């Protein structure tokens, strides 16, 4: 991996200065001489920890390579000639290796930022700390799970003891010297480590340490397997189903993918969707054998529900597919109660719209192409509704409506003067009238190439 940050811990040791015995002679005349007095003994803390960086030699194009490290107000920089004599082998790669000045035990949480430059090029910024190194070894490398009696277990004990030593140094040398009422420094053992594969933290890095309880946000950058979508972030046996979460435990996380379908059986919405409703009472219930979300509508106003995929990024798609199990339960004798449906882009521009009417003859569909109501399903029953919106160009679209996998209606009736390609929101808005309940299950919205 290019520009991988490596840290080497220089062994911690504090040696007492050697004592020299000084002999004082007594003169032949036995004249007494005044002796020097050692009246105090102490130990100075030395032998600090250093950061070590390896710069991939194959990426260096200039005659020299410079590493610059900043931490707080301090900056350290070193330049070496880009020659074979200055290279070392690190993880099977030729590298230029840089070792920083020492970091004291009280500064294990201090963040350092490093860049390598050669010629006119500068690397990405790498962030690291002694604390992150120790937690990385324990959790990202899995050493924390090592069995007793193994060399890996000895490493575990060492890393944990060094962290404890750092916390003790902070306590004695920093916090105990603060005035009464002054805020104490958070100990390195009160930090939590997080690393991400298939994504980044909100600050752009893929790993870091944060004070326990900090809310971290993860951005998904990987490509989901075909036909699947991001369900959550797996951390061991745990699954985070939101992009932001409170970091109370160390977390080595990776994306978890699923069918990309909102299945209300487990009451969890995949992270690849946002589900919003203007009705404060959107529920999940069992309706005719299916556990589903439903929106109750009333005669005194319109309510709405929206399904918004958060990952719609295919470059070569031309078709957006909305697929759901749906049931409309009418609560009165009226046959003129309409449900209004729209497909929009992210800015809310309507691309296509249609209505469903709970009529005497069954569920009736109309997109304004004619005044005729097309019966597509029986009343008060579950049916699968799939709308495929295919963008041809700004003047042409084709919208196919399927019910239980049977093509029921085909239209070219887009909304507005120009057809919209980037459809990404499905919205259902009730009409005023006698109340009804609208049920959804197994909802998905995806981009495909047709």
Give the domain CATH number at 57. 2.60.40
What stretches of 394-450 adopt beta strand conformation (E)? 396-403, 406-411, 425-430, 436-448
Interval 273-292 mean pLDDT: 77
Can you read off the two tokens belonging to residue 78? 């070193």
Beta carbons of 352 and 367 less than 8 angstroms apart = yes
Asked whether the predicted pLDDT for residue 13 surpasses 70, the reply is: no
Kindly state whether residues 245 and 337 are assigned to the same domain.
no
**142 pLDDT above the threshold of 50:** yes
| Per-residue pLDDT reduced to its tens digit, 332-363 | 555 556 788 999 998 999 999 998 887 777 88
Determine the pLDDT at residue 303: 76
Q: Same structural domain for residues 99 and 149? A: no
Higher pLDDT, 303 or 111: 111
234-243, 363-372, 417-426: range with highest mean pLDDT: 417-426
Please give the residue that has the higher pLDDT: either 282 or 233. Answer: 233
For the segment 133-161, the average pLDDT, to the nearest whole number, is 95
Element housing 67 (H / E): strand 64-71
Q: Which long-range contacts (CB under 8 A, 24 or more apart) does 184-190 make?
A: 186/109, 186/211, 188/108, 188/109, 188/131, 188/163, 189/163, 189/164
Residue 180 lies in a domain: yes
Helix or strand run (H / E) with residue 275: strand 273-277
Give DSSP secondary structure letters for 113-173. EEEEEETTEEPPPEEE-HHHHHHIIIIIS-GGGPPTTSHHHHHHHHHHHHHHHHHHHHHHH
**132 domain residue, yes or no:** no
Mean pLDDT of the chain: 83
Residue 330 placed within a domain: yes
**In what helix (H) or strand (E) does residue 392 lie, and over which residues does it extend?**
strand 383-393
Q: Indicate if the pLDDT at residue 413 is higher than 80.
A: yes
Task: Tell me how far apart the terminal alpha carbons of the chain are, to the nearest angstrom.
Answer: 38
Is residue 35 predicted with pLDDT exceeding 60? no
Considering the domain architecture, whether residues 155 and 220 belong to the same structural domain is answered as: yes
What does the alpha-carbon distance between residue 307 and residue 441 come to, in Å, rounded to a whole number?
12
Instruction: Provide mean pLDDT across the span 60-88.
Output: 93
Assess whether 427 and 281 both reside in one domain.
Answer: yes
Q: CATH number of the domain at 324, please.
A: 2.60.120.200
Asked whether residue 151 falls in the same domain as residue 233, the answer is yes
Together in a domain, 279 and 392: yes
| Segments forming the whole domain that contains residue 165 | 143-258
Residue reference for tokens 């697929």: 323
Q: Is 407 found in the same domain as 272? A: yes
Minimum mean pLDDT among 181-185, 206-210, 326-330, 345-349: which range?
A: 326-330
Give the separation between CA 298 and CA 303, rounded to whole angstroms: 8
CA 334 to chain centre: 49
Tell me whether residue 242 is in a domain: yes
- Interior angle at CA 275, CA 409 and CA 297, nearest 5: 70
Q: According to the model, what pLDDT value does residue 21 have? A: 31
Same domain, 26 and 97: yes
Which of helix, strand or coil describes residue 58? helix
Q: Are 415 and 350 in contact (CB under 8 A)?
A: yes
Q: Which of 208, 241, 258 is the last residue of a domain?
A: 258
Which of residues 258, 287, 305 is at a domain's end?
Answer: 258
Predicted local confidence at residue 46, as pLDDT? 47
Nearest to 391 by CA among 338, 448, 339: 448
Confidence category of residue 209, pLDDT binned at 50, 70, 90: very high
Q: What is the pLDDT of residue 16?
A: 26
**Into how many domains does the chain fold?**
3
Give yes or no for a contact between 191 and 175, defined as CB atoms under 8 angstroms apart. no
- When pLDDT is cut at 50, 70 and 90, the band that residue 253 belongs to is very high
- Measure CA 232 to chain center: 9
Stretch 297-309: mean pLDDT, rounded? 75
DSSP string covering 165-207: HHHHHHHHHTGGGSPTTPPPPPPGGGEEEEEESSEEETTS-SE
Element containing residue 297 per DSSP (H, E):
strand 290-297
**Least confident residue range of 64-73, 99-108, 262-271:** 262-271
**Range 18-34 average pLDDT:** 44
Report yes or no: 438 and 306 within 8 Å, Cβ to Cβ.
Answer: no
Is 369 among the domain residues?
Answer: yes
Q: CA 359 to CA 356: how far, in whole Å?
A: 9
In a domain, 137, yes or no: no
For range 160-189, the mean pLDDT: 96
Same domain flag for 207 and 292: no
Which domain-ending residue is among 230, 258, 286?
258
Question: Do 155 and 94 fall within a single domain?
Answer: no
pLDDT at 261 over 60: yes
Instruction: Note whether 313 and 444 are same-domain residues.
Output: yes
Is 133 part of a structural domain of the chain?
no
Q: Is there a domain that residue 290 lies in?
A: yes
Q: 291 and 199: one domain?
A: no
Of all residues in the chain, what percent are helix, strand and coil, respectively (each to 5)?
Answer: 10, 45, 40
Question: What is the band of 42 on the pLDDT scale with cuts at 50, 70, 90?
Answer: low
Q: pTM score, two decimals?
A: 0.65
Contact 224, 208 (CB under 8 A): no
């Amino acid at each position: 991996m290019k520009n991988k940050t490596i840290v080497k811990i220089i062994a911690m040791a504090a040696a007492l200065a050697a004592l020299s015995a000084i002999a004082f002679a007594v003169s032949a005349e036995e004249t007494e001489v005044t002796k020097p007095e050692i009246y105090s003994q102490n130990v100075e803390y030395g032998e600090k920890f250093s950061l070590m960086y390896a710069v991939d030699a194959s990426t260096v194009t200039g005659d020299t390579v410079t590493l610059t490290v900043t931490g707080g107000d301090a900056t350290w920089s070193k330049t070496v000639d880009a020659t074979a004599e200055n290279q070392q082998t690190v993880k099977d790669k030729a590298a230029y290796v840089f070792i920083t000045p020492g970091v004291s035990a009280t500064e294990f949480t201090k963040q350092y930022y490093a860049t390598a430059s050669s010629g006119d090029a500068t690397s990405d910024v790498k962030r690291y700390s002694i604390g992150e190194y120790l937690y990385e070894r324990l959790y990202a490398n899995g050493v924390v799970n090592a069995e007793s009696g193994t060399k890996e277990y000895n490493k575990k004990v060492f890393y944990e003891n060094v962290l404890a030593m750092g916390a003790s140094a902070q306590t004695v040398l920093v916090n105990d010297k603060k005035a009464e009422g002054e805020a104490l420094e958070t100990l390195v053992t009160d930090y939590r480590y997080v690393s991400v594969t298939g994504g980044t933290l909100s600050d752009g890095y893929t790993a870091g340490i944060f004070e326990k309880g900090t809310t971290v946000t993860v951005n998904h950058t990987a490509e989901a397997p075909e036909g699947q979508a991001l369900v959550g972030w797996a951390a061991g046996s745990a699954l985070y189903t939101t992009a932001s979460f409170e970091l109370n435990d160390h977390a080595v996380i990776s994306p978890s993918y699923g069918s990309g379908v909102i299945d209300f059986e487990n009451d969890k919405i995949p992270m690849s969707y946002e589900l919003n409703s203007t009705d404060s009472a959107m529920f999940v219930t069992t309706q005719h054998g299916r556990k589903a979300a439903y929106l109750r509508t009333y005669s005194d106003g319109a309510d709405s529900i929206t399904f918004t995929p958060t990952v719609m990024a295919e470059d070569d798609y031309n078709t957006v597919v909305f697929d759901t199990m749906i049931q409309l339960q009418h609560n009165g004798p009226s046959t003129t109660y309409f449900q209004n449906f729209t497909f929009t882009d992210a800015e809310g521009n309507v691309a296509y719209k249609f209505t469903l009417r709970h009529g005497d003859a069954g569920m009736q569909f109309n997109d304004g192409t004619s005044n005729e109501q097309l019966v597509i399903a029986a009343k008060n029953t579950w049916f699968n509704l799939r709308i495929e919106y295919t963008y041809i160009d700004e003047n042409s679209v084709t919208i196919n409506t399927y019910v239980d996998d049977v093509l029921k209606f085909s239209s070219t009736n887009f909304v507005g003067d120009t057809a919209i390609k980037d459809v990404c929101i499905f919205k259902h808005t009730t009409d005023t009238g006698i109340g009804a309940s609208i049920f959804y299950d197994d909802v998905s919205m995806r981009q495909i190439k047709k």
